[in-house]
Amino acid sequence: MAETDLRAVVLGCLQAVAPEANLADLDPARTFNEQIEIDSVDYLNFVFGIEEALGVRIAEADYPKLSSLNGCLAVLSGQPKQPDECPVP
């Protein structure tokens, strides 16, 4: 997926959990928490929204890497799309 498409998905998912946030002024290098008010539940809903929108599973160890726009783009650009069902070995 192109970076502009990934950026749109990430910002859409962020807007869904923080509708009052002005994302046009978002600094891609700074954490979302530094720039907008989101709590831990909002953050998890943001991560789950990305997973659903892109059809991927993000490892829990990668959750902290998604705390900025640049971090999201770095992690998500390397994520393979997951099948809806895993085959039984």
Residue 89, pLDDT score: 35
Pick the CATH number of 3-76 from 1.10.1200.10, 1.20.1440.60, 3.90.1150.10, 1.20.1300.10: 1.10.1200.10
Q: What is the pLDDT of residue 79?
A: 59
15 burial via Cβ count (<10 Å: 0-12, 13-18, 19+): middle
Every domain of the chain and the residues it spans: 3-76
Give 4's DSSP letter.
H
Question: For 37-86, what is each residue's pLDDT tens digit?
Answer: 899 999 999 999 999 999 999 999 999 999 999 999 999 987 554 434 33
Q: Which of 76, 12, 67, 73 is nearest to 44 (CA)?
A: 67
Euclidean distance between CA atoms 48 and 8, whole angstroms: 16
pLDDT, position 85: 36
Q: 71: which 2 tokens?
A: 């971090």
